[in-house]
Structure 1
Amino acid sequence: MIRPLRLLFLAPFSQAAHCPGLEYAGDLARALGVPLHIAAFTDLHGAESAGPAGAECPDVVRQSVLALRQKWLKDESARLQEKGVDVHPEIVRASSSATEFAACAQRLEADLIIKDMQARPGQAHCGLSPQDWEFLSVSPVSVLYVQPGPTQIPGKVLAAIDMEFQAKEGDSDNHSIIEAARRLASACGAALHVISIYDTDAPGQGDLSRFDVRKQAFDDFARQHGIAREHRHFIPGAPANAICAYLQRSAYNLLVIGAANHHLLPSGIGLTAEGILEHAGCSVLAIKVPVAAAPIKTTAPDSIRHASS
């Protein structure tokens, strides 16, 4: 019997109240009809649980922290279960590190990880912390980062693809990205749009005939995936800046991008992806690419599982 898709929410350590990412994860699990695993990391021997310097009973402090963590997890799980979500909560006694997060995802055989974006001190926008960047680089599967604020499942999804590499023999990254976005949008009843940027900063891109060729290839690709003409957006500019500017003047709930573009950085994430994740202004699903040619292990027809390289 093939198991259903598994969603994994990584709960922040210091969460004393409800968080947007967990609400989002619950709504998404219910829309897909799949289980939601919640991993609440608690390092009882780390600085977070040690209490103030000079505390007489550090063990008491640690046990108090654990009890509060367990209560939060129990209460949040019960609330989601009342909404019809199949919840599988777990206290993970380990440090909140990228390697521990990745190990947990592998152990639970997660297909998609959901995590909150964190507000930055002194800044108006949210983004990824250094730990988030590290985790995205080592994560075995795709990661969905949820923007703070009112939570809702996507109503309008934008998939970003790179036509410069579509002609590459055997390239499947764009297909993986658009299929993930399409299946997710279908499950949530959302409109799906597709965007590709004609990189005007790249050598030789000033040729109008080259622009027309790329645009035609983009239209052909989008049509193959059933994207309506009015939902296709081919825009000239610098990729990260152009996509972020387009998002700022549009009303998308979710952006779907590849997490390892071909212009690779040492982090293994990609220059364009890094620029977008810093300034997207909406929730972002980072698909780990390239995708291995492996069967999708899910009983749900509208799944978003993607094997990692």
Structure 2
Amino acid sequence: MGHYQHLLLIADPTLHQSPASLRAVALAEASGAALHVRAFAEPEPVVRLWEEKIDEAGYQRYMRRHRRWVAEETQRLGDLGLEATVDVLFTTHPLLDILKTVEELGPDLLIKDASLEPLLKRVFITPLDCHLLRECPVPVHLVNQVRYGLPHRVVAAVDPFDPSTQISGLNDTIIQTANALALQCDAPLHLLYAYDLSPAFNGDAPLVSGGWGMDVVEELRESLHQAFVTLAERYAIPPERRHFVPGPPVPAIGDFVEQYLADVVVMGTVHRLGIDRLIGSNTERALYSVPGSILAVR
């Protein structure tokens, strides 16, 4: 993947400047990409014939606010020297219209603020961000917070364990996507593998009980480490930027991000075939628990 050519920014619903807009502008300036800004708003108020009073003034205010935002945003981006298009789409089905926009524009990257919904709400309603992670055909950059416009540290989170169940080529796609972002930001690329040995034992024989000898555990760990090293060497990742850490992926990634002040973690939305493909991937869980921002690839 070379320099970005087209970036799609999903504007904050309030039409205010946001972390995602700061990131999108910085990436467009660094790469020379065209920036397409789209706001997906609730449909304008409907005037019903049976209502006694027609709030024509409210309707006009609503429309003027969005037209003014388009004009001001177009002017602002133009003053920054960016090639940009700005538009508002009124919709009751934002996911469908976002996917349609992606199909029409063919961006290299979709950038959006992460909507951190409360847990109780997520139990009953699947957030828009999770739908985008599952269905968007291009990489999705969900921006949680921005210390800098351009990322200073980019992390590719890979999983070379058990290639027979992996989505073919996903680790390579993750690294290539992360490397493209790092190159355009002049940022170092780190490679992270948070390995968890417990799935290999299916929970049937706890290690502490002696059901599995420590030599078997160490042998498995060494095989995972060798697979990680092989992957890192294929992409010439220097040893000081290789991180082989134990623990369940999401907590381990979160700890790593905090320790190294990583700005973006690049992850795959689905890593494996079969039962591990069940809804609720590590990427979706990381969205709500890992500090910093996520760039997800399918």
TM bin (shorter chain): 0.7 to 0.9
1:180 aligns with 2:177: yes
Deviations 1:62-99, CA, capped at 9 Å, x for gaps: 33212111212322232222222211112223235212
Q: Residue 255 of structure 2: which of 223, 227, 245 is its match?
A: 245
Deviation at 1:242, TM superposition (A): 1.2
Give ranges in structure 2 of 5+ residues lacking alignment: 120-124, 203-215
Moved more, 95-104 or 235-244: 95-104
Instruction: For 2:43 and 2:166, locate their aligned partners in 1 and report how far apart those are by CA, in whole Å.
Output: 50
Instruction: For 1:178 and 1:4, locate their aligned partners in 2 and report how far apart those are by CA, in whole Å.
Output: 16
Deviation at 1:176, TM superposition (A): 0.3
8 Å CA contact retained: 1:40, 1:73: no
8 Å CA contact retained: 2:115, 2:129: no
Deviation at 1:160, TM superposition (A): 0.2
Deviations 1:270-304, CA, capped at 9 Å, x for gaps: 5221221111110110112xxxxxxxxxxxxxxxx
8 Å CA contact retained: 1:42, 1:66: no
Aligned residue in 1 for 2:285 = 275
Aligned residue in 1 for 2:297 = 287
Q: Secondary structure at the match of 1:203?
A: helix
* Distance change in 2, residues 1:216/1:96 (3 Å): same
Task: With the length of structure 2 as denominator, give the TM-score of the two structures.
Answer: 0.82
Q: Secondary structure at the match of 1:114?
A: strand
- Letter of the structure 1 residue corresponding to residue 277 of structure 2: L
Task: With the length of structure 1 as denominator, give the TM-score of the two structures.
Answer: 0.80
Aligned residue in 2 for 1:304 = none
Deviation at 1:222, TM superposition (A): 0.6
Instruction: For 1:192 and 1:167, locate their aligned partners in 2 and report how far apart those are by CA, in whole Å.
Output: 27
Instruction: For 1:261 and 1:223, locate their aligned partners in 2 and report how far apart those are by CA, in whole Å.
Output: 21
Deviation at 1:28, TM superposition (A): 0.5
Instruction: For 1:78 and 1:239, locate their aligned partners in 2 and report how far apart those are by CA, in whole Å.
Output: 43
Moved more, 110-119 or 191-200: 110-119
Moved more, 248-257 or 65-74: 65-74
8 Å CA contact retained: 2:70, 2:86: yes
Bigger-Rg structure (1/2): 2
Q: Residue 235 of structure 1: which of 221, 245, 266 is its match?
A: 245
CA RMSD after TM alignment: 2.7
8 Å CA contact retained: 1:40, 1:92: yes
Instruction: For 1:37 and 1:187, locate their aligned partners in 2 and report how far apart those are by CA, in whole Å.
Output: 18
1:218 aligns with 2:219: no
Deviations 1:199-244, CA, capped at 9 Å, x for gaps: 1221249610111111012111111101110000011111112111
- Letter of the structure 1 residue corresponding to residue 41 of structure 2: T
Q: Residue 155 of structure 2: which of 133, 154, 158 is its match?
A: 158
Aligned residue in 2 for 1:9 = 9
Deviation at 1:264, TM superposition (A): 1.2
Deviation at 1:13, TM superposition (A): 2.5
Instruction: For 2:254 and 2:18, locate their aligned partners in 1 and report how far apart those are by CA, in whole Å.
Output: 25
8 Å CA contact retained: 1:159, 1:177: yes
Instruction: For 2:41 and 2:127, locate their aligned partners in 1 and report how far apart those are by CA, in whole Å.
Output: 19
* Distance change in 2, residues 1:166/1:193 (3 Å): farther
Instruction: For 1:224 and 1:276, locate their aligned partners in 2 and report how far apart those are by CA, in whole Å.
Output: 27
Q: Secondary structure at the match of 1:162?
A: coil
* Distance change in 2, residues 1:272/1:121 (3 Å): closer
Instruction: For 2:79 and 2:9, locate their aligned partners in 1 and report how far apart those are by CA, in whole Å.
Output: 18
The total of aligned residue pairs comes to: 273
Give ranges in structure 1 of 5+ residues lacking alignment: 123-127, 289-309
Q: Residue 75 of structure 1: which of 64, 72, 76 is its match?
A: 72
Moved more, 6-15 or 216-225: 6-15
Q: Secondary structure at the match of 2:277?
A: coil
8 Å CA contact retained: 1:5, 1:34: yes
